[in-house]
Each structure stands twice: as structure tokens, then as C-alpha cells.
Amino acid sequence: MSPLSKAISIFAACVALSNHALPANEFSDSFIREQFEKAKSEPNNRVLLDIDQPIEVVFQALLAELPNYSDDVVSTLFDNSNSLSRNELDVGSRRISTMENEDILVQKIILFDPPNSFAYFTQMSESTVNAPIDYSIGHYQLTEQANGRTAVQVSAVFRPSSRLTAFLVRFAFNRAFEQDFKNAEEYLNSIFRR
């Protein structure tokens, strides 16, 4: 069982233990901005990656090639119908990942500055993945090094949907987060330099 599958199983157990109501379907733009700032300055988790690939390759892989490094993701597509750039990938686009069990995870792009950074807000109300979190925000900051390598900082904030199970949720989320990005770093460093 992959780390993400284990984390989702723990999430499902946490949901079963908790009678906490699900979060409201919508979060205000000001709340999302506030949590985005928190993701940059005081994240729940942060990983640093050192990748021997050009910045453009790394940006594209971390944004769109999730099936290559995330154990449970089988496909990723983008819905650009609400994008700031008419029908092109930009702020407002939605990244939709389909899992092995056919559940989907919907993430709205809230920052898009290729190839330097992007961020997403997980839309749990539109996702079918069973996870006891109200929301999560992921922020990716890429820096091109003088030697042609790319340094990446990925940070995330999230809120468990129940204080009763918060410790277990944090543990599972952080473990899956770190494993996925360890896999991403290994994947990107193992492919032929593009």
C-alpha cells in the first residue's frame, strides 16, 4: 500500500471516529489569501528539493505530471473554463487528479507565475476523495541555480475537520506530503536531463 493510500486510510478512519460536520462548501477570497500567506510564512509542512533539471522542466512536472511521482494519482487534467486567461492555464484553472480508486481531487490554481511559482487551493466540496480536512493550500517556489539545477520549496497549510482527530490527520497528511515529494525529487533526478 502506498504512503498516500495509507494516509487516505487513516483519513477515512479519522472521519469514522469523528461526528464533526463537513466544512462549508465555499471559503471567502480573503480567507484563501490569508491562508496562502500562512503557507508561505508559517506552513504546516515544508520540503526542499534539489533537482538536476532546468526550471521549466521541473515546473511542468510538479504542476502536471503527478502520475509520474504520486503513487495514487493515475491522471491529471486541467479545467481552464474559469481561468483569468481565457481557456488557458492560469489563476482560476482547476487541476483535477483522478486516483486509483477513481475518486477525484480538485485544486483551484490561486497563483500562476511560470516557471517560478504556483499555488493551489484544494476544493474539498468538489472533490470525492475522502479526507477529513476542511481545506489545504500548496505553494511551490522554484529557483534556478547557476549550475543549471533547480531548487524547489513546497509548503502547505491545511485544517483538519475535527479537533478530536487533528493529531492523526496532521501525522498522515505530513507523511504523505513528504513521501510524494521525495518521489518527485527521485523521479525528476532519474530522468534524462531535458
What is the chain's percent helix, strand, coil content, to nearest 5?
35, 30, 35
Whichever domain contains 136, its CATH number is 3.30.530.20
pLDDT tens column, 4-58: 455 545 555 444 444 333 444 478 999 999 999 999 999 999 999 999 999 999 9
Q: Please state the separation of Cα 129 from the chain's center in Å.
A: 13
d(CA 112, CA 192): 26
Over the stretch 83-92, which tens digit does the pLDDT of each residue have? 999 889 999 9
Section 65-76 average pLDDT: 94
Contact between 95 and 109 under an 8 Å Cβ cutoff? The reply is yes
Domain interval for residue 88: 3-190
Closest CA to 137 of 61, 65, 49, 34: 34
pLDDT in tens, 102-157: 999 999 999 999 999 999 999 999 999 988 889 999 999 999 999 999 999 999 99
Q: How many domains does the chain have?
A: 1
List the grid coordinates of 170. 496532521
Contact 75/89 with Cβ under 8 angstroms? no
Instruction: Supply the pTM of this predicted model.
Output: 0.84
pLDDT given for residue 163 in this prediction: 81
pLDDT of residue 86: 86
Work out the number of other CB atoms within 10 angstroms of the CB of residue 157: 21
> Does residue 99 carry a pLDDT above 90?
yes
The CA distance from 22 to 157, in Å, is 18
